[in-house]
Amino acid sequence: MDSKDVDMMDSDAPVTSSPSDTTELSSVSDQIEVARRLLTVARQLIDQGKPSQALQAGGEAAAFQALTRAKELYRNKIHETTAADELASLFAECAIAEASPEPSTSNNTISHPFPSFESDTSGTSILAETGRKQIVLDAFSDGSSFVCLQCGGLVSNDRRDEHYAFWCGRS
């Protein structure tokens, strides 16, 4: 900070922020300007040998405003993450449904090849509870795994024979 800047400031100016500074700011440029003013006042107080007052330059209103903004950003981030997870899960279900053959009908009943995905839509499956439905999409899309048409499980291609022999009982 130049000594000219310090000389230009009124040393008798109040340290607390004005009511107009405490109102919610609508633009980023206004927020940057307020931060610059607070830093200028704090630097001036440090130069005057008043470091404890420099820590209080913004006052409680500035601290409250900063905490409120941080809380809003945190909540928006969580909301965006949840929405992205739900969208990824929906894409996973669509990709698996498109890749599977049409379900066969016998005795006028329709069998669903993916019973676990029915429970996913209600949110009671393990993947839904833990928020990891994206795993199904990733494993299925890279070709390393397949969805068993009998049990609806996600199985590694390397374990296909063992799965049919010991899990599903398919010969």
Enter the pTM of the model. 0.26
**Residues in contact with 121: Cβ distance below 8 Å, sequence separation at least 6, in sequence order:** 93
Average pLDDT over residues 1-26: 46
Identify which has the larger pLDDT, 51 or 128: 51
pLDDT computed for residue 103 by the predictor:
52
Q: Is the pLDDT of residue 21 over 50?
A: no
Burial of 95 (0-12, 13-18, 19+ CB in 10 A): middle
Q: Return the minimum-mean-pLDDT range out of 123-127, 134-138, 163-167.
A: 123-127
* Domain boundaries defined on the chain: 3-57, 75-168
Task: State the average pLDDT for the chain.
Answer: 66
